[in-house]
Amino acid sequence: MTAQWQEQVSLKPYNSFGIDVNARYFTHVRDDVEVRQALAGAAAEDIPVLVVGGGSNLLLTGDVQALVMHMASRGLRVLEDDGERVVVEAEAGEPWHPFVQWALRQGFTGLENLSLIPGTVGAAPMQNIGAYGVEIKDVFAGLTALDRHSGETREFSLEDCAFAYRESVFKRSPGRWLILRVRFALHRTLQAHLEYGPVRQRLREQGIEQPTAQAISDAICAIRREKLPDPAELGNAGSFFKNPVVPMVLAERIRRDHPGLVAYPQGDDQVKLAAGWLIEQAGWKGYREGDAGVHRLQSLVLVNHGQATGAQLHALAGKIQADIHARFGVELEMEPNLY
């Protein structure tokens, strides 16, 4: 064990579910040098490594017999600015929502629809996070990652990342790539994405017909606060299940019995279904087993009412998955990473 490592550290502050488990070893890393030192120390001791940022996409099911490396790097900088298109770079440890608000204060648009998403900048490309019609891939300009196999750093282009719905090359290769910093292509002129009805409706209710990027961000923050619980008050990881993409023939079969099916055509005879709608139709909304439960307002969100363990939340998720498959023939996939 190196001098910078702590032993038997509670991870409750480092995961948004608030699961109280211990890390065998724990360290903060604030720059590339400390990242390499921590990885080298773990390799020398033959200790596995778990990298965490905001812990907003993580379900811990027991004590972590590893070195938990908390990404604490900070830094925001403008790399290019031609008066319209601006490329900004953010260190992986930067909290995501404050970064979005910083960009808006500078007059940079493009991130406003991604407001109030929990987590850190480094975790955002892992999941290709998205909300209200915008995904990371839409504003992505590149990133720098460390190859934990070779020890070399590599620059990733948009194509290299192989982004898909809540997917990326980084998620498909767990344990290999450690994202160090991410670059975003933003603009000074707003290109508003108001395809999702609730956002446009909220703006109209406020009498805003020509919204600014900040107004869009504020509207989305208000909507998210109404729909999703604050992890500081009720442990959760946001949406727990991905919206499943199914063959159109299956969607039509479900629609015959459930005319209110919420579905979005994807092309190639595929349809994306609203997982939350399926779960609510199955009667799980507001369900609770001890302190593990489904949120009373948003059935896509599993919550920790206080003392739930990760294993209990995982078991509840399994029951929901089995029920949805039995009722609708649809496989639900978890969004959070299990450890």
The residues assigned a catalytic role are 166, 239, 335
Contact 151, 143 (CB under 8 A): no
Q: Whole-angstrom Cα distance, residue 182 to residue 215? A: 25
Separation between Cα atoms, residue 305 and residue 111, nearest integer Å: 32
Q: Residue 308 in contact with residue 302, Cβ under 8 Å?
A: no
C-alpha–C-alpha distance, residues 19 and 339, integer Å: 12
Tokens of 190: 């707003």
Helix, strand or coil, per DSSP, at residue 329: coil
CA angle 225, 230, 234 (to 5 degrees): 135
Give the integer Cα–Cα distance in Å for 69 and 328. 41
Please, is 13 exposed, middle or buried when counting C-beta atoms within 10 Å of its C-beta (0-12, 13-18, 19+)? exposed
Checking DSSP bridges between strand 58-59 and strand 49-52, what pairing results, if any?
unpaired
Indicate the DSSP class of residue 244.
Answer: P
Residue 51 in contact with residue 39, Cβ under 8 Å? Answer: no
- E-assigned strand segments in the chain: 6-10, 22-29, 49-52, 58-59, 64-71, 76-81, 85-91, 130-131, 134-135, 140-147, 153-156, 177-187, 235-239, 245-247, 263-267, 270-273, 288-289, 292-294, 301-304, 337-338
Yes or no: say if 153 and 180 are a contact pair by the CB < 8 Å rule. yes
Q: Is the Cα torsion angle 90, 96, 101, 107 positive or negative in sign?
A: positive
Q: What are phi and psi of 282, to 5 degrees?
A: -80, 0
